[in-house]
Amino acid sequence: MSRAEWRRLALPGLLAFLFFWIFIGLGVWQLHRLTWKLGIIAEIRHAQNAPPIPMPAHPTRFEKVRISGQWVPGKAALYGDEVHNSPQGPMEGAQLIMPLREANGTVVLVDLGWVKGQTPKPMPDLPANPSGYVHVQSRPGWFAAPDDPAHQLYYTLDAQKIGAGLGLAHVAPYMLIALGPKPPPGSLLPEPAQNLPTPPNNHYEYALTWFGFAGVLVFEFIFIARKRLRIS
């Protein structure tokens, strides 16, 4: 090629070279993220099958933990507004929240699971050592309904705000999401969560996307180069 032809390809060639390696680097980064995420998921599966551990000083939402204490009598709230299917048809309900006071005086709010209706009712015969996973404070979303502390109905999972609405002090800045088996059909007992939360794992698809961009870029540069050389 002549010097003029090289000049016509210099800028697009430089940009294509730069972005090609950027795309390759992003794809490799996503593969590293994939390995990291698979490790977390393996730890979650191990925790799911293992017995719960005593509540650590700094719990995470990917551990199955156990707390002990005494349930605060006569206190209950509801979170959310969910419709569950049943043999009788769709039923409206929410997550039942009740407070448990640990031996050190800290109150931990426990999400016992979905119950029918929109009126919070304390449940009798609750376990002294509930187990589950920790949910940290949430902030209200753009489209979240306003909380109704007067009726103990909440749409943001903020443990300290719910605790204050229940007239409680020394509330932990997190909530325990109870794990347990589903109650029998027709039961009035709460339906707890069945599994620990698992983070999404789309890093393999992301890596393929970035590598795909790199491949498309190569073909685009070849197409542009041939077109410019043909014109010259």
Is residue 229 predicted with pLDDT exceeding 70?
Answer: no
Say yes or no: 33 and 90 in one domain: no
In a domain, 30, yes or no: yes
Say yes or no: 25 and 121 in one domain: no
Q: Using a pLDDT cut of 90, give the percent of the chain over it.
A: 32
Say yes or no: 142 and 206 in one domain: no
Residues of the domain holding 212: 3-47+201-231
The predicted-structure confidence for 147-189, as pLDDT tens digits, reads as follows: 888 888 888 888 888 999 999 999 998 899 999 888 887 777 8
Say yes or no: 75 and 151 in one domain: yes
| pLDDT value of residue 13 | 82
Is residue 48 predicted with pLDDT exceeding 90?
Answer: no
Where among 163, 178, 193 does a domain terminate? 178
In a domain, 55, yes or no: no
What CA–CA distance (Å, rounded) separates 178 from 110? Answer: 7
User: Hey, what are 166's tokens?
Assistant: 């229940």
| pLDDT value of residue 86 | 64
| pLDDT value of residue 6 | 61
Say yes or no: 117 and 152 in one domain: yes
In a domain, 83, yes or no: yes
Q: CA angle, 78 as apex, 172 and 121 as ends, to 5°?
A: 105
What CA–CA distance (Å, rounded) separates 224 from 134? Answer: 55
Count of residues making up the chain: 232
What CA–CA distance (Å, rounded) separates 8 from 4? Answer: 6
Question: What average pLDDT does this structure show over 23-48?
Answer: 92
In a domain, 58, yes or no: no
Is residue 24 predicted with pLDDT exceeding 70?
Answer: yes
User: Hey, what are 143's tokens?
Assistant: 């489209």
The predicted-structure confidence for 78-124, as pLDDT tens digits, reads as follows: 998 777 666 666 778 889 999 999 988 999 999 999 988 777 888 87
Q: Would you call 149 helix, strand, or coil by DSSP?
A: helix
Count CB atoms within 10 A of the CB of residue 109.
27
In a domain, 11, yes or no: yes
